[in-house]
């Protein structure tokens, strides 16, 4: 099938999922066309069946806000016509589902019907999408999608609670390619990061408020009081500077490394012992899943879709949002004992393999098939 994928090309989870999905679909023989404003960060190789089409938004001084949706929908129309695209898969409702629907309508005017799948990722619903300024447009574009998928059961429930949705929402969880993580990968170079006797705690995110970064640091503060430890902070975002200041204030700056955005997530996770994800809201927690497949135990909040990924007492522990005491207690419990740590690490890996792409990709192919067939009855 010829599929156009629209996503954010950044380090954010929705862009990562969309990119990995596109790469995997190409591996199965589909022709995949990414349509976005920059080459997606995880898309390192273009090939005969992976294409990238850049959306340009020419600056015009009259516009206080440059019209990205307009440029995207026009680009989609052109791409569909030029490459014979058979299906649009848009990741993150805002503004992609809206632009996708406009492209669909324009194409229909020319007698071309292209079904649209919308995948809801989290903040497009729970944070940004529900704002009264966006809500009517988000509701409309979800209802006008041919198939709607959400990355967790919890996100589906939130969507149905927040919006007036008339469509079925299919839950297709996020995934990882477990083949990429070989059992006997030994070249971790752990010694570059920490001494032999130190535990390594890691956090990866876009450092937005929703990630509760101070909780990461406060949990780590309590951990390092009990044992030698290092904290590795990966990512960039608005809360990073405050985080650096907090480490300084607590006198732990020498134990915390801020690495910025990294293309070497797997390498960092490879030598990590524990991953912290104390988010205020999280529809799935892809970062936790990536940690788990790398045999890293997880301490997280119990919000949103995280309990569907991090299994309490198995791959790690969950605690109420903001309960730093409990998170630290459980982190110390896991890290204090070599045998317990090893058990949690192995369990984390085992739980993560359930989300292997081999199990998840066919679910997407099924909804593509369903949407493709809908072209015979659906012409709105
Ligand atoms: O976590 C973020 O802020 C980035 C955001 C995104 O859209 O890129 O992540 C969301 O989608 C990911 C992929 O489906 C999920 O794993 C994250 O849990 C979700 N983030 C939130 O719900 C806060």
DSSP assignment of 233-299: EE---TTHHHHHHHHHHHT-GGGEEEEES-S-HHHHHHT-SEEEE--S--SS-HHHHHHHHTT-EEE
**Listed residue (79, 162, 82, 94) closest to 128, CA to CA:** 94
The mean per-residue pLDDT over the stretch 30-58 comes to 91
Ligand 1 atom 4: residue of nearest CA: 12
Residue 27 CB partners (closer than 8 Å, separation 6+): none
287 Cα nearest atom in ligand 1: 16
142 Cα: distance to centroid of ligand 1 (angstroms): 18
In testing the pocket of ligand 1, which one of 127, 237, 284 has its CB within 8 Å of the most ligand atoms?
Answer: 284
Ligand 1 close to Cβ of residue 159 (< 6 A): no
Angle 148-39-264 from CA coordinates, rounded to 5°: 95
Ligand 1 close to Cβ of residue 284 (< 6 A): yes
Torsion of CA 101, 103, 109, 114, to 10 degrees: -80
**Rounded to two decimals, what is the model's pTM?**
0.93
Maximum mean pLDDT: which of 130-134, 264-268, 352-356: 352-356
286 Cα: distance to centroid of ligand 1 (angstroms): 7
**In this model, does residue 11 exceed pLDDT 90?**
no
What pLDDT, on the 0 to 100 scale, is given for residue 187?
Answer: 66
Ligand 1 close to Cβ of residue 173 (< 6 A): no
Maximum mean pLDDT: which of 4-18, 29-43, 182-196, 220-234: 220-234
What pLDDT, on the 0 to 100 scale, is given for residue 192?
Answer: 82
In testing the pocket of ligand 1, which one of 279, 282, 292, 321 has its CB within 8 Å of the most ligand atoms?
Answer: 282
Ligand 1 close to Cβ of residue 121 (< 6 A): yes
What pLDDT, on the 0 to 100 scale, is given for residue 379?
Answer: 47
**Listed range (48-52, 93-97, 375-379) with the worst mean pLDDT:** 375-379
Ligand 1 atom 7: residue of nearest CA: 14
Cα–Cα distance measured from residue 74 to residue 346, given in angstroms and rounded to the nearest whole number: 48
**Listed residue (176, 232, 237) closest to 211, CA to CA:** 237
Ligand 1 close to Cβ of residue 282 (< 6 A): yes
Ligand 1 close to Cβ of residue 122 (< 6 A): yes
Ligand 1 close to Cβ of residue 311 (< 6 A): no
122 Cα nearest atom in ligand 1: 22
Mean pLDDT value across the chain: 94
Ligand 1 atom 9: residue of nearest CA: 13
What pLDDT, on the 0 to 100 scale, is given for residue 190?
Answer: 84
What pLDDT, on the 0 to 100 scale, is given for residue 186?
Answer: 58
281 Cα nearest atom in ligand 1: 23
- Upper half-sphere CA count for residue 15 (Cβ side, 13 Å): 15
In the chain, pLDDT over 70 holds for what percent of residues?
A: 97
What pLDDT, on the 0 to 100 scale, is given for residue 185?
Answer: 53
């Amino acid at each position: 099938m010829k599929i156009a994928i629209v996503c954010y090309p950044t380090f954010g989870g929705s862009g990562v999922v969309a990119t990995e999905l596109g790469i995997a679909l190409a591996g199965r023989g589909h022709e995949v066309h990414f349509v976005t404003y920059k080459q997606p960060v995880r898309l390192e190789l273009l090939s005969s069946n992976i294409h990238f089409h850049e959306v340009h938004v020419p600056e015009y001084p009259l516009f206080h806000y440059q019209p990205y949706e307009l440029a995207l929908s026009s680009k989609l129309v052109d791409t569909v016509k030029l490459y014979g695209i058979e299906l649009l898969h848009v990741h993150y409702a805002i503004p992609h589902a809206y632009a996708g629907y406009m492209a669909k309508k324009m194409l229909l005017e020319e007698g071309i019907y292209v079904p649209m799948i919308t995948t809801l990722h989290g903040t497009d619903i729970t944070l940004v999408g529900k704002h009264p300024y966006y809500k009517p447009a988000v509701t409309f574009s979800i209802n006008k999608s041919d198939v709607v998928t959400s990355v967790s059961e919890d996100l589906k429930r939130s969507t149905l609670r927040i919006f007036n949705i008339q469509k079925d929402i299919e839950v297709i969880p996020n995934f990882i390619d477990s083949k990429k993580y070989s059992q006997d990968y030994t070249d971790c170079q752990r010694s570059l990061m920490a001494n032999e006797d130190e535990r390594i705690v890691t956090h990866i995110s876009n450092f937005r408020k929703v990630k509760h970064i101070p909780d990461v640091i406060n949990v780590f503060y309590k951990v390092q009081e009990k044992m030698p430890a290092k904290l590795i902070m990966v990512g960039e975002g608005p809360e990073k500077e405050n985080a650096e200041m907090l480490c300084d204030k607590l006198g732990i700056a020498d134990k915390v490394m801020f690495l910025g955005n990294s293309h070497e997530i797997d390498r960092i996770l490879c030598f990590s012992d524990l991953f912290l994800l104390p988010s205020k809201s999280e529809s799935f927690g892809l970062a936790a899943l990536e940690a788990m497949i790398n045999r890293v135990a997880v301490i997280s909040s119990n919000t949103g879709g995280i309990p569907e990924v991090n299994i309490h007492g198995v791959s790690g522990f969950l605690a109420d949002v903001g309960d730093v005491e409990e998170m630290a207690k459980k982190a110390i419990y896991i890290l204090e004992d070599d045998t317990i740590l090893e058990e949690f690490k192995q369990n984390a890996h085992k739980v993560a393999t359930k989300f292997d792409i081999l199990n998840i990709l066919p679910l997407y192919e099924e909804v593509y098939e369903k949407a493709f067939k809908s072209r015979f009855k659906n012409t709105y």
